[in-house]
Structure 1
Amino acid sequence: MEVLFKVIRQQHNSSAKVQTYLLEVEPGNTILDCLNRIKWEQDGTLAFRKNCRNTICGSCAMRINGRSALACKENVGSEISRLQQLAAHTSKTNAIPEITIAPLGNMPVIKDLVVDMNDFWNNLEAIAPYVSTASRNVPEREFLQTPEERSRLDQTGNCIMCGACFSECNGFEVNSKFVGPHALAKAYRMVADNRDSETENRLEKYNEGTQGVWGCTRCFYCNSVCPMDVAPLDQITKIKQEIIAHKQKSDSRSIRHRKVLVELVKAGGWIDERQFGLQVVGNYFRDLRGLLGIVPLGLRMLVKGKFPLSFEPSEGTQQVRSLIEAIQEEGSRE
């Protein structure tokens, strides 16, 4: 079958352009197979990273038809099927199937499909991605773990640092201080490791501003593109749960947001917006700057008739409260 490959090509600090290559391929050919043929048979100047060809090293991550993936894992047949499913909802069809390949996002392009991953690696280093035993006596032999303790590390240990999640991260796109899902997934790997002696310090660090877990926008893209099912968003959520369990509402606005939300919903079935702003932003009238910051919003809401002057609990408050308490009880058992 003939497939038209549209490759987004670019030199460092220059405008991108689309270059097309027509190939006769088999449905089982991987995208990396096709890129190799383009380079070997049609255009030796095309630049891209590759290594293992077996979904192990993570080198060949790139955007394939708009989503970040490993070129050695995705094949022509599955990509065309996916595009055909999308095309079924539109009137646009192509006589020759097209596959568009672009460099990873959130990282500057060096050449063609090769990106500069310095931010990616620097952000990983920022979370101290190694087990620390500095405060403990090092045993004569290895630190032993039970199978249950080791199993907590399995999912995050599967990360191959391909950069797919970082490429799609909306949190980093709008906030360059956010360390990214790859770093925080590895961070949970450290938090969950019973051999690590820096858990409290780690949670303090990951709780800082929007560079840690609170910078995540919960868009779910990292989970959807991860080729190894690491589920970075799930790991970020676990760190948040650890932080909330160790912190008081007065410690930060992010923690108050979570705890106050649950308390208000338990109390009334839904959020009492009058209390929410005062308790979260105003820190129960302790944060004068925060209170002054929401005054203009409150006045605009009053003028528009949108400020809730009273609050009526939901008719299903008891059911909502029971559900939350059941979840909390289940979490405490874990």
Structure 2
Amino acid sequence: MTILVTGAAGFIGMHFSKRLLEEGYEVVGIDNLNDYYDPKLKEDRLLELKKYSRFTFVQLDLADREGLFALFNNYAFTHVVNLAAQAGVRYSLQNPYAYVDSNLVGFVNILEACRHNPVKHLIYASSSSVYGANAKMPFSTSDNVDHPVSLYAATKKANELMAHTYSHLYGIPTTGLRFFTVYGPWGRPDMAYFSFTKSILEGKPIKVFNYGNMKRDFTYIDDIVEGMVRLLDRPPLPNKQWDRFHPDPSSSYAPYKIYNIGHNQPVKLLDFIQTLESLLGMEAKKEFLPMQLGDVEATYADIDDLHQAVGFQPSTSIRDGLKKFVDWYKAYYQ
């Protein structure tokens, strides 16, 4: 098996690729190494992967159609895991075109490449942000998700629709994973837990939005990767019970499936900060602010279908996961 991982220098991409390499898979990783955040962090993640002889890195942007098609011609990929995307809800308010280029143009290029070079399974990153204005908790993949509150969320919903179209037209088995606030070592500097840690250690105030009245389904990276690895050789089959009169958004008559992948245990933001403070041995200076545009008050994943499919059961507590992050952060930044 030769597996293509896009966004291999990213947070989830690096951890997932490393796990595949440890299990003996051949992995080709691509990334454009853009400067959305410190490229050195991305380069250092790649150094972790380059320790394995079965890893090949190609610097490539998904929007480069010719380059991507050439890559597919050079390698007989059995599986494709698309984790490359322009991430971040808030940045989508400032630079919407980056999301169109990466999340829409880039994704249709992946789909076209898989169409012309058939693969056994295409797994791609969606996001909990697709639930948008929904208030029913926990969020279920059987819920309607037609009211995104950020362009980032809209592009992720679009990815799910595009994937279904290609599953329907060309029989490509596609699985979309709605990630819920992933955290851990080697994480993204634009994520709250990362910037909180940096600010607390530097004695700077942290921005606490919605006056701290937020809940997030924080999910540790190792739990995420475990779920992904279990799904790799479980491509979706057409759902023969799928009812066109009462359509289930999470499955289809085509080989298409959507899963939530989260901890299934929301944590209050202030409790999260308190745990971080205790691990750092320092109290945060808090600046309480109103809700930001594009943000949501709470996320909470219903993971029953993923549990039934592959036995997915997150096991890392917030305290244990944050301790591993803090230990990594202190070592990495000395």
TM-score scaled by structure 2?
A: 0.23
**Higher RCO (C-alpha under 8 Å, 6+ residues apart):** 2
Bigger fraction of residues in strand:
2
TM-score scaled by structure 1?
A: 0.23
**Which structure would you say has the larger Rg?**
1
